[in-house]
């Protein structure tokens, strides 16, 4: 079983659509959770951290369920500029060192 | 302020050769990590350094090595290059290690092995 698994893509949606990405992780000791966005041939950039209470940033809402080891990202009112690959990322132990474990990514294509 | 800077941005090497990739972290950041991203996959952790000491190592062969210098910059070295080493190599920096430290990526070094 892969450490971080995401929905296979790509997702093709029209502008204005709502799209949801799902992710599961295998290490129950994971302490931090993120969604990163990666544009074609660019570096990953932090989109948002994910907290157990859920958090929202404009059109983006992230949820974490530690019991199910499940993370989600909801994008409302999709824009053309949202087209990118979305990476589910889990952070390592809280002490000593921390590393990020990335999922394979799910590509989103928003069309006019 | 400058972000994480990496060099070179692109390079082509032949199988069996050696490559050195360089990274300068954000000013004040003491932790540097290296990731390999093969086309179509997510980045995979290679090394983490903090205060010039190796703090973590991913599942990579001994052909991969790294070090961190007193100014916190870092080098990633790969010996005996294989075709499968072709990838985007990402350097990331953070103030320290541990939960709560935001990690910032550089633009990466594109390595092609022919």
Give the model confidence (pLDDT) of A54-95 as tens digits.
899 999 999 999 999 999 999 999 999 999 999 999 987 644
Give the model confidence (pLDDT) of A26-40 as tens digits.
988 888 899 999 999
Residue B107 has its nearest CB partner, among A42, A96, A101, at A42
Three-state secondary structure of B70-100 = CCCCEEEEECCCCHHHCEEEEEEEECCCCCC
Do A78 and A24 form a contact (C-beta atoms < 8 A)? no
Ramachandran quadrant class, A105 (left: phi over 0; alpha: psi -120 to 50; beta: rest): left
Give the model confidence (pLDDT) of B24-59 as tens digits.
999 999 999 999 999 999 999 999 999 999 988 999
Do B94 and B104 form a contact (C-beta atoms < 8 A)? yes
A100/B99 Cβ within 8 A: no
Do A73 and A43 form a contact (C-beta atoms < 8 A)? no
Supply the pLDDT for residue A30: 86
Between B100 and A41, residue with greater pLDDT: A41
DSSP B25: P
What token pair was written down for B100? 């709560």
B42/A102 Cβ within 8 A: yes
Contact residues, chain B to chain A, C-beta under 8 Å: 33, 35, 40-45, 48, 50, 55-56, 58, 88, 90, 92, 97-108
How far apart, in whole angstroms, are the C-alpha atoms of residue A61 and residue A47? 11
For residue B72, what are the CA distances in angstroms to B48, B51, B89?
12, 7, 18
Give the end-to-end CA distance of chain A in Å, rounded to a whole number: 37
Residues of A in contact with B105 (CB under 8 A): 43-45
Do B113 and B14 form a contact (C-beta atoms < 8 A)? yes
B105/A45 Cβ within 8 A: yes
B56/A97 Cβ within 8 A: yes
How far apart, in whole angstroms, are the C-alpha atoms of residue B49 and residue B103? 13
How far apart, in whole angstroms, are the C-alpha atoms of residue B77 and residue B19? 6
A104 touches chain B (CB under 8 A): yes
Q: How confident is the model at residue A2 (pLDDT cuts 50, 70, 90)?
A: confident
The rounded mean pLDDT for chain B is 94
Residue A27: alpha-carbon gap to chain centroid: 16
Supply the pLDDT for residue A53: 87
């Amino acid at each position: 079983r892969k450490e971080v698994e995401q929905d296979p893509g790509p997702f093709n949606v029209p502008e204005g659509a709502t799209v949801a990405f799902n992710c599961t992780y295998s290490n129950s000791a994971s302490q931090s959770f993120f969604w990163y966005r990666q544009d074609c041939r660019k570096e990953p950039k932090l989109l948002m951290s994910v907290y157990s209470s859920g958090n929202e940033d404009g059109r983006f809402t992230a949820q974490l369920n530690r019991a199910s080891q499940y993370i989600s990202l909801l994008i409302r009112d999709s824009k053309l500029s949202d087209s990118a690959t979305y990476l589910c990322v889990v952070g390592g132990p809280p002490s000593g060192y921390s590393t990020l474990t990335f999922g394979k990514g799910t590509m989103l294509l928003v069309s006019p | 302020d400058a972000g994480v800077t990496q060099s070179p941005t692109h390079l082509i090497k032949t199988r069996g050769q050696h490559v050195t990739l360089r990274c300068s972290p954000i000013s004040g950041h003491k932790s540097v990590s290296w990731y390999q991203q093969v086309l179509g996959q997510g980045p995979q952790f290679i090394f983490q350094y903090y205060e010039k000491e190796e703090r973590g190592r991913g599942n990579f062969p001994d052909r991969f090595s790294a070090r961190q210098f007193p100014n916190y910059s870092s080098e990633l070295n790969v010996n005996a290059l294989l075709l499968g080493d072709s990838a985007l190599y990402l350097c990331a920096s953070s103030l320290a290690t541990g939960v709560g430290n935001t990690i910032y990526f550089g633009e990466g070094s594109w390595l092609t092995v022919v």
